[in-house]
Amino acid sequence: MKKILRKGAILLVIFVAVVAGTSLLMNSQSTDNRSDMNDATLPEVMVKIGSTQANKMYGYKQQMQTDFMRGSITPLDTTKKVTFEINPYSDTVTGLAYEVRTSDGSKVMENRKIKNLTKEENGYLSTEIEIGSDLRMNQEYSMQITLDTNEGEVYYYTRVVSRTQLNTEEYLQFVKDFSVKCLDKEQADTLAGYLEAEDTSSGTNFNNITINSGLSNISWGSLSPKLYMEGVPLIDDINETTASITLNYQISAQNDEDKTEIYDVTEFYRMRYTETRIMLLDFKRSATKVFDPSQTVVSDAGLLLGIRDKNVTYAVNGDGKIAVFEQDGDLWSYAPSSGKITRIFSFRKDEENDSRYVRNEHDIKIIRVADNGDVDFVLYGYMNRGVHEGYSGVCVYHYNSDRNVVEEKVFIPSTESYEFLKEDLGTLTYVNKNNQLFLLFAQKLYQVDIETGTSEVLEEGIKQNHFVVSDTKAHAAWLITSGDDQGKIREIEFDSLKTRDLSPENGQKLRVLGFMNEDLVYGILSDADILTDANGHETEGLSTFRIESFKGKVKKEYHQDGLYITNVTVGSTMMEFELSAKSGNAYAVQKKDNIMNNKKASGSQVDVALITTNRAGTMIRLTMNQKPETDNPLLVYSKIESTEDSPVTLDTTVPQGELYYVYAYGTLDRIYTDPAAAVKRADDQTGVVLNRAQQYVWERGNKKTKMQLNIEDVPEIIRTANWKKKELQDGLGDAGTVIDLTGCSLDSVLYEVSAQRPVIAKTGENSSVVIVGYDEYNTYLYDPSTGQTAPYGLNDSTALFESAGNVFLTYIENITE
């Protein structure tokens, strides 16, 4: 009887366990919200110029700040007509509207709605618009195109500019023709005359091809690629003299095992149109392999990443057994001991990709890698697909290795484009171990609690040039520029949230310089060592700098009697600077010095190595101390865990102020508060300078051969040739903004005269003139003391202005449409 009862009890336990297990399984299955990322749904909009498509635009689900959305330039001819083509994909487009605003977005010039769209044979929709507003010549305007779709309203952005004799279609055809011919060795021979080939004995690097690389490398060497996904040219800049165009496309190539490799390619062209032919002034190409671990990438030597740039973003866990790296917008992890490679995050589809999936306008910051393979990372930029498709912003993710799922922790939308986001978030993006996110965003230091979605501003009014972070991003420091603590340096340790302040002594000022390891480097200067010239330009010379730990321990103090520290650069391994002496109201460099980072380099668990092959040239490999368990790794592709959409809203509006943007090689290069520094940078990078209102301040290569201004058209305050900036600004009032180009070359400032902006130039201690014209041999200088304009030789002018310190002032009219 006891045996029967015992057996019955056992069966009852088994039954309960099975029911419970089944219930758990069913519950797990019913609540499992892991899935592949949603496909892209938004249409694309292109501009049709003649027979060529250009300026492909991707959709946004929120309206963006127009002064932070430069993107492409769509030139207008005298008809001011523009043809749009729309690729709707699987979406339904029921209407189109467009709006033209002043470039700073402050005033609407025109808005209209188009009811009828023409359906083309290829499935595209098209329409032609004619802008009726009176637009100024050579002035950019913002254009927002709005599509009515099943997804609601979707917004697209370009800029329009009216300019004459642009030859736009010829430039576009040249770019497409050049790119296609490069893929065919026979046709490529016709391109030799466009190149400036130099010594190519240094080898082949398909990630960095230039106009100097030689015909063989321009035509892809021994890679033998084919066009895989055609690109649409994007017009970066265009004027009467030159045009800059970017082309993004994909190629395929067969490797040594006859497997297909895919490469993302970006080409930049700068051209000049002549009556006989188009001249290629500059050319750059970068190719990056789409990482594919199904091919042979693992060996005892490490993990082969292929053709790409050598600056690999990667992180490892504590014992170096798991490496996580970013390649071409995708995030991967590799564990040699387990023989597993995991694609943690990607906007790409495994197959049937189109340009929406491969667009790479986002960055990934790896925060930490746990010993169990979990990864915390931050993604910022444009969201190609998924629940945030069509938004620009910041996403914090946690990859759960055990569940093989990427969990979204917080999303912060932004109205800035990726290139502007990168300026801020590239400086600081950090998540501490308490799940708190720290961002430098729109001159504010934000702390966001990831669990609760709350945020607070730790500091406002932070200037980029007074803010520094350590390499690990665990520490930051900044100069406080307003309030009761003005003049102090504040340092924060993000993991503990502790701060410390450094205060200057009386008659002194402090400057943040950088970090060496986690130790702050800061400088000390006396008020008397801030030298000011007659025009108010300040130059600083540090008497001392210190390297100091967060606990206040001084690791090193540097001082040289009679000399001052100038032009400081702090790197991860070395600090470099100049030692200068006072010379009047400036500093004269006497010698250079440096400080090495004395931290002993421990054996690196992961390194980046360059290897060379005959077929693919220079390639990149990650080398690891851990040897692989197998050269045939297990490939794992993560899932996305859907969450309730609860974005954190931050004030990302950039405060008003004078900012100068340098655009070069198709991207935002740098942002300056000093227009002269911006012009020098643009000159070096063959770029352009725009102000906050997106007006052209300076353009490389768009100076007319001669120009003569009518002195009567020059504002009275400018005719006085006063070089005091404040007095000039007061005289101009709201009509214009003074542009101080002191330190620039005469050749550079003559662009301003070409743009019909007179330039005040200092000629002596108490004398100045107004440059109102120039030609091949002379400048034409207006002397306010005599009221006369006279020619002066170019070489003599250069020497005259240099002897007076190259003090140049001009102005730009404020937008008053």
Same domain? 130 vs 173? no
Give 296-302 contacts, CB < 8 A, sequence gap 24+. 296/257, 296/631, 297/341, 298/336, 298/341, 298/628, 298/630, 298/631, 298/632, 298/633, 299/628, 299/631, 300/627, 300/628, 301/609, 301/621, 301/623, 302/609, 302/621, 302/622, 302/623, 302/624
End-to-end alpha carbon distance in the chain: 101
> Does any domain span residue 198?
yes
Same domain? 752 vs 801? yes
Instruction: Find the length of the chain.
Output: 817
Among 289, 309, 332, where does a domain finish? 289
**CATH number, domain with residue 218:** 3.10.450.50
Q: Edge-to-edge strands of the sheet including 688-691? A: 667-672, 660-664, 688-691, 696-699
Residue 271: count other Cβ atoms within 10 Å of its Cβ: 24
> Does any domain span residue 368?
no
> Does any domain span residue 535?
yes
Boundaries of domain holding 270: 168-289
Same domain? 150 vs 177? no
Same domain? 247 vs 149? no
**CATH number, domain with residue 51:** 2.60.40.10
Same domain? 51 vs 24? no
> Does any domain span residue 148?
yes
Parts of the chain with a pLDDT under 70: 1-33, 199-202, 534, 599-603, 644-646, 816-817
Domain count within the chain: 5
The pLDDT value recorded for residue 817 is: 59
Same domain? 476 vs 580? yes
Same domain? 192 vs 133? no
The pLDDT value recorded for residue 19 is: 39
> Does any domain span residue 149?
yes
The pLDDT value recorded for residue 67 is: 82
Q: Report the distance separating Cα 491 and Cα 473, nearest Å.
A: 12
The pLDDT value recorded for residue 605 is: 84
> Does any domain span residue 526?
yes
Single pTM value for the model = 0.90
The pLDDT value recorded for residue 21 is: 40
Two structure tokens written together for 296: 């042979």
The pLDDT value recorded for residue 16 is: 40
Same domain? 712 vs 733? yes
Q: Report the distance separating Cα 586 and Cα 743, nearest Å.
A: 13
Same domain? 10 vs 117? no
Same domain? 476 vs 591? yes
Q: Hey, is 424 helix, strand or coil? A: helix
> Does any domain span residue 613?
no
Same domain? 590 vs 484? yes
